Chains A and B, each alone.
Chain A
Amino acid sequence: MRAYLSRRYRLSASHRLHTDAFTEGENRAVYGKCNNPHGHGHNYVIEVTVGGSVNAETGMVCNLADLDACVRKEVVERFDHTNLNGDPLFQDRVPTTENLCIDVYQLLAKAFDKAEVVRVRVEETSNNSFEFPLQTPNAARC
């Protein structure tokens, strides 16, 4: 039987939303306070969902220790207590939480081979969250 397991991780990082494609005025108009040249930070919550058949011997989709180790290595150690704008992934892209969410999904989908990474959800604040990719199991039943 196919089930899904989700685990939440935390990391703190700073960023500045700014693109050279806009003028200074446009950057301020589009990004508002997030365009502050000195940057600002968030406590991000990274919710990772993996899916797969429940292993008959272990009762698990995958061993949590394996998932924890992968997320720690690929995501938490990479981004925690850093400035996202300095990461190679954001040299030519704005480190919005949309982009961070997509990148975290792609890093984990590539690195984790014990189960399928089906969704990453990132909470930038308790009021803002982002999910990628859009997948709704069982949608046909609705």
Chain B
Amino acid sequence: MILLTRKAEFSASHYYWNEAWSGEENERVFGKCANKNGHGHNYTLEVTVAGAVDATSGFVVDLKQLKDVMEREVVGVYDHRHLNKEVPEFAETIPTTENIAIAVWNRLDGKIPGAKLHRVRVYEMPDLFADYYGEP
């Protein structure tokens, strides 16, 4: 088995808000992220797949296919969008970096031909990132 990682980038806006809480509570917990006008990031997505190296092609996965799946399932849906308002999985789930990593996993799992999803890493900024390995 070998691991292969492909990167992609998308830019999106979001804000953090829990409707069950008061405005003061949201601002206390989420700070500047609770601004309902939103703010944005340049996200970097790293998708790592695991699989055996095919004896003929020498590939774990056809990178073109992986790139196309990431583009269709994630980048095309998230890029230049407001995550809270335009992406269905964040209508009622706060688009934190952790939740974005989980959502990307759910979008990609089972759709990568010939390889198993190993890890989804989402960088919100170069110094802050979340990893999800499909753990319950």
Contacts and interface: CB of A to CB of B under 8 A. Distances in A.
Interface of A: 1-9, 49, 54, 57-61, 63-65, 137-138, 141-142
A8 B96 contact: no
Nearest to A45: B127
B102 interface: yes
A142 B18 contact: no
Interface in B24-56: 29-31, 50
A59 B99 contact: yes
Interface of B: 1, 3, 16, 18, 20-21, 29-31, 50, 93-99, 101-102, 116, 118-119, 126-136
A95 to B, nearest CB: 24
Contact of B128 (A2, A58, A64): A64
A56 B30 CA distance: 14
B99 to A, nearest CB: 5
A142 B128 contact: no
Nearest to B101: A3
The B interface is mostly helix, strand or loop, or mixed, namely mixed
Contacts of A142: 1, 3, 50, 118
Contacts of B127: 7-9
B17 to A, nearest CB: 10
A64 B16 CA distance: 13
30 contacts: A1-B102, A1-B135, A2-B133, A3-B101, A3-B130, A4-B130, A4-B131, A4-B132, A5-B128, A5-B129, A5-B130, A7-B128, A49-B131, A54-B98, A54-B102, A57-B21, A58-B18, A58-B30, A58-B96, A59-B94, A60-B98, A61-B98, A61-B130, A65-B31, A137-B135, A138-B118, A141-B116, A141-B133, A142-B1, A142-B3
Interface centre among B102, B128, B133 (most CB of A within 10 A): B133
Contacts of A8: 126-128
Contacts of A57: 18, 20-21
Given A6-B131, A58-B94, A59-B96, 16 more contacts: A2-B133, A3-B131, A3-B135, A5-B98, A5-B130, A7-B128, A8-B128, A54-B99, A57-B21, A64-B128, A137-B133, A138-B134, A141-B116, A141-B133, A141-B134, A142-B50
